Chains A and B, each alone.
Chain A
Amino acid sequence: DGGITQSPKYLFRKEGQNVTLSCEQNLNHDAMYWYRQDPGQGLRLIYYSQIVNDFQKGDIAEGYSVSREKKESFPLTVTSAQKNPTAFYLCASSSSGSPYNEQFFGPGTRLTVL
């Protein structure tokens, strides 16, 4: 069953704590992305990676960090430096063979800071 998995579905964090969101894909896609979604704000790009061991900052990278040690995995760490981390986080991937750079999204992780 191919697709993108994100875990956990819901995550609660105390202020001042770092937390890591998992994203795994078995679609053999080269590129992976992290977006943040807030009500009425659309999707905003945090980080993206075109190949293993390489990634670029998106529009709102401050307070976040990523790694891409394996093609199928792209974890996102929300650090204590992120001032307003409560949001819905979406991971996506795309294939270099796709004619439209179709990005396939995971089911998301809803992070709440208590």
Chain B
Amino acid sequence: QQQVKQSPQSLIVQKGGISIINCAYENTAFDYFPWYQQFPGKGPALLIAIRPDVSEKKEGRFTISFNKSAKQFSLHIMDSQPGDSATYFCAASKGNQAGTALIFGKGTTLSVSS
């Protein structure tokens, strides 16, 4: 049973465009939703995260939009750049204490063409 569903599997965006990746979850007990970025051959790194008490969080060109009633959240990358080409994973967990297991989506491979 996949608890976090991520789409699309792959995405091609032109330089300067907006990249949008969507995730949906089932478990209403989830209350922490991070996004991780992974470059080929490297480990993932935290990009941005949100708690369900806010509907949007922005950090530079990256924005998380959160819809609690729909149990959906999305990552928007504004003014996409070739350096943003990577695999992006959404995740969810119950709580945000150390030792809390994260449930990851299957990932979206983003290619930004110049």
Contacts and interface: CB of A to CB of B under 8 A. Distances in A.
Interface in A47-92: 48-51, 58, 90, 92
A112 to B, nearest CB: 15
B99 interface: yes
Interface string A30-59: 110101000011111100111100000010
B64 to A, nearest CB: 12
A35 to B, nearest CB: 8
A96 interface: yes
Contacts of B106: 40-42
B42 A95 contact: no
B45 to A, nearest CB: 7
A106 to B, nearest CB: 5
A45 B3 CA distance: 13
Contacts of A90: 43-44
A90 B97 CA distance: 20
B44 A42 contact: no
B84 to A, nearest CB: 19
Interface residues of B, number: 26
A65 B95 CA distance: 26
B49 A94 contact: no
Contact of B99 (A50, A97, A106): A50
B93 interface: yes
B8 to A, nearest CB: 12
A57 to B, nearest CB: 10
A45 B45 CA distance: 16
Given A30-B98, A50-B98, A99-B96, A42 B104 contact: yes
B62 interface: no
27 contacts: A30-B98, A33-B101, A40-B106, A41-B106, A42-B107, A43-B89, A43-B102, A43-B104, A45-B103, A48-B101, A49-B99, A50-B98, A51-B99, A92-B43, A94-B98, A96-B98, A98-B96, A101-B32, A101-B93, A101-B98, A102-B46, A103-B102, A105-B44, A105-B45, A107-B41, A107-B42, A108-B42
Interface of B: 6, 9, 32, 34, 41-46, 49, 89, 93, 95-107
